[in-house]
Structure 1
Amino acid sequence: METGTRTCAAPPFAAGDERPCNVRWRPHDLLRLRRLASFDSEPDWVRAAFAAAPFAVVRRAQSAFGVIAIGVRGHGRAQRYGTWAEAADVEAVIAPEDLADSLPADTERLALPAFALYADLRREAQSLAAFAWGPTGSVGFELASGVPTVTATSDLDLLIRAPRPLAREHAGQILSELESHAQRAGIRVDVQLETPAGGIALAEWAAGKPRVMARHAQGPRLLADPWTAPAAPT
């Protein structure tokens, strides 16, 4: 494994057996697993990381019946591994919005900038009140697993559910409020809108670009409107 390189296990199903994402497992959901299937060329750190925190995040990828595309995280950005889980091994599913009222197990960690910003947004971000939203990335992982993951330099990653059209002006207002809070915390906030066409960056949609990148299980697509785009081919 190359340091700093994201690796992925080969799919445990034949080409042509892929299916669209099961709505039961949505990208960014965290899964608590009773076991982690092993594949060839697995990085050395994966077993220890899973033993410490038996959680994985659902990846945005097609899979086959009974199989879920997941990502395992270790220490730092260099330790990320894309692999697969069996649906029968899932003990719990934790969506980002399920963590909206969560706090770190060690309350002293609330002083870390990412947690401080998250607490600030929970109290004061009026623009988020109309949405289902929650943390992803290191903040979401620590809140779900209880394992210290956030560092003093961690950004705050957020997911906003946006099943209905969001005006660009409204998106700009949300972005402006969130970035104002982030500037006071001294870190970045990275926000993704989950739309019917896939995940798009709030900043891109708010910027008024003619087309934005939508990340979908079947690959990224440039779209003018993620709420009226035709479904990706199956």
Structure 2
Amino acid sequence: MGLKVNDLLKINDVSDLIGDFTDALWINEAVKRAPFVVVRRAPLINDVVPVGIRGTNRSERCAATILCSSIVANIMPEQLTEGKLWRTNKHIRETHIFKTLEIVDSILEGYGMVWGPTGSVGFELASGIETVTDTSDLDIIIRAESFLSVKTARDIIEELSKVTAKMDIQLETPKGSMALAEYARGNSPVLVRTFNGPKLVKNPWYEDEILEG
């Protein structure tokens, strides 16, 4: 299906979830409120998709799986950016995140970056359910399918320093995810989160340069 980590998947209801939820009574209410789950960084085997469920606070997070046949819709973070959906979201327009999104969009668009919000911001934009608060950070992924130079990464970090909101920016490369700030330091190897756990990688764009994690 071409699913990627951080994609938001709409499902029908809690019966689509596979897992042991005996100690997570909040799940039923959370899925009823917003029937969306997020694709986790784990292998997709036999059409079984690893997903995460989020509740109303940080302590309410749970791993599960679903079948591909249970997916009603797939919303990628970059689709939220392409449509600039924060401009039509009344609640987000009233938060500090709105101005941050506008600035980040302008900067990354100037570099031709394919990017999108994840976390609470991405969840609200996709689901329409208010999850952004006055203390929310802005989590971002940049789809870096082809090589990104350390200099460009540093330039982006420097321009984004004008943003006052706290941000977590991840580069999604063919090998996995790494922090933009860490890559921008220019140190090698760099720690990359892969489907098989964290690995030290000399170059996140070449298959033959993975060291032991």
User: Residue 138 in 1 paired to residue 116 in 2?
Assistant: no
| Letter of the 1:206 counterpart | A
Residue pair 2:37, 2:52 contacting (<8 A) in 1 also: yes
Deviation at 1:105, TM superposition (A): 5.9
**2-side partners of 1:171 and 1:105: how far apart?**
30
1:186-226 deviation per Cα after TM superposition (whole angstroms, max 9, x unaligned): x2111111101101110000012222111111111011110
| Letter of the 1:212 counterpart | V
Aligned to 2:129: 147
**2-side partners of 1:202 and 1:157: how far apart?**
12
User: Residue 89 in 1 paired to residue 70 in 2?
Assistant: yes
Aligned to 1:170: 152
> Which deviates further from its counterpart, 35-44 or 169-178?
35-44
Aligned to 1:6: none
Identity, in percent, stands at 37
Deviation at 1:40, TM superposition (A): 2.5
Compared CA separation, residues 52 and 227, structure 1 to 2 (3 A): same
| Letter of the 2:99 counterpart | A
Aligned to 2:99: 116
| Letter of the 1:118 counterpart | L
- Calculate the TM-score normalised by the size of structure 2: 0.89
Aligned to 2:33: 52
Compared CA separation, residues 102 and 226, structure 1 to 2 (3 A): same
Residue pair 2:170, 2:180 contacting (<8 A) in 1 also: yes
Aligned to 2:161: 179
Residue pair 2:41, 2:50 contacting (<8 A) in 1 also: yes
Alignment RMSD: 1.8
Residue pair 1:223, 1:229 contacting (<8 A) in 2 also: no
Q: How many residues align?
A: 205
| Letter of the 1:131 counterpart | M
List runs of 5+ in structure 2 lacking aligned partners. none
User: Residue 67 in 1 paired to residue 44 in 2?
Assistant: no
**1-side partners of 2:170 and 2:182: how far apart?**
10
**2-side partners of 1:141 and 1:41: how far apart?**
22
User: Residue 159 in 1 paired to residue 137 in 2?
Assistant: no
| Letter of the 1:58 counterpart | V
What secondary structure does 2:30 align onto? helix
Deviation at 1:62, TM superposition (A): 1.5
Deviation at 1:128, TM superposition (A): 4.9
1:66-110 deviation per Cα after TM superposition (whole angstroms, max 9, x unaligned): 210000100111111110011101011111100011127652431
**2-side partners of 1:128 and 1:85: how far apart?**
38
**2-side partners of 1:90 and 1:196: how far apart?**
24
Aligned to 1:39: 19
Which of residues 52, 56, 60 in structure 2 aligns to 1:79? 60
List runs of 5+ in structure 1 lacking aligned partners. 1-22
Compared CA separation, residues 88 and 206, structure 1 to 2 (3 A): same
Deviation at 1:129, TM superposition (A): 4.0
